[in-house]
Amino acid sequence: MTQLDAPRTAAGTGSVPRVRRGGRAAWAGGAGLVAVVAVLGYLPYLVSRGTQVDLVGLFALVVLGTMWNLLAGYGGMVSIGQQAYIGIGGYGLVYLAETVGVDPFLSVPVAALVCALVAWPTSYLAFRLSGGYFAIGTWVIAEVVRLLVTQVDAVGAGSGASLTAFSGIEPLYRIAFVYWMSLGIAVVVVVGVYLLMRSRLGLALTAIRDDPTAASSAGVRVTRAKRLVYVVAAAGCGLAGAMIVANTLRVQPGSIFSVDYAAIMVFVVVIGGIGTIEGPVLGALVFYLLQDSLADLGNWYLVVVGGVAIAVTLLAPRGLWGLTRGRVELFPTGYRVAVRR
């Protein structure tokens, strides 16, 4: 199977070219990923509770990186305010479970739905801006949301609140259940974005990212597609926020709405490879390993992380996954013209 120029191949050899996605490498990689997920699903029987808690943080990084990549890498929207929806998801879980009395596990998807409902009207305000103004505007929106939350006594106002709805479950089982829930969310988010990018909307997003004007002239409804992506990314960040709070059992406005989350998302995507499905997953793993191994360095930890980001940006502009140069695609979303000799 050789990838060739379609017209020249058909005329020169008489072979019939065909358009395909993926190949044997993609099938093999997919089988490997299924095996990895199966092993991760069995880990609570093998590792300590502390390790499970740490891995939930890794799953949250995967979700956050995937959502920011969907926004910037595929939708062309560079946001530094997604912490607004991380916070809404976390506080939504606490409010639904503690005040309304909804089951805490059921509260997680409901909190994500709340984020989507908030993001829809918010997009009409944010989309009045573009480029760097859009990025700054999303950060301002996040700060406004944080200030509003600190005025709500039902969720602890400025001091935050604790999640006690899990008190009826033994810690051993609670940690395992939260772990499995978080693993499932990470898998669903990654696979969901993969399927989205293989759809007509995914093709439209690629055109919008490359040239919005040309995409619009070709019949793509640019604003509608970008708004849908913005809402989906908000819901995904809400899931991550709920995962974080379910894992720590505590939420505070200063931490859950921290702009540090925006910096982490950018780092994860840029390091792994923007505009790919695999990149954010790899970037999340790299950040998790750096965070775990360098935590004892204090402020020097941030210096090392920054140095790694600079080095990767200079030496591998397409990210670590870009070093494969497309030879390995676990989640193929593009098309290839191939001919069988």
Give tens-digit pLDDT for 277-318.
Answer: 888 999 999 999 988 887 777 777 778 888 888 888 888 888
* pLDDT, tens digit, 9 for 90 and up, residues 116-170: 999 999 999 999 988 889 999 999 999 999 999 998 888 888 888 888 888 888 8
Work out the angle between the directed axes of helices 222-248 and 171-197 (0-180°, nearest 10): 170
Separation CA 135–CA 89 (nearest Å): 21
Q: How far apart are CA 283 and CA 180, in angstroms?
A: 22
The tokens for 266 are: 């950018």
Calpha distance 193→202 (Å, rounded)? 9
Give residue 6's pLDDT: 45
Helix (H, G, I), strand (E, B) or coil at 25: helix
Residue 333 has pLDDT above 80, yes or no: no
**Alpha carbons 135 and 131: distance in angstroms, whole number:** 7
Neighbours of 7 (CB within 10 A): 10
Min mean pLDDT across 26-40, 59-73, 149-163 is at: 26-40
- Is-contact 141 133, C-beta < 8 A? no
Q: Which is higher by pLDDT, 208 or 181?
A: 181
- E strand or H helix at 2: strand 2-3
Write the CA distances from 26 to 16, 23, 201, 333, integer angstroms. 23, 5, 22, 11
Give 265's contacts (C-beta < 8 A, 6+ positions apart): 64, 65, 67, 68, 82
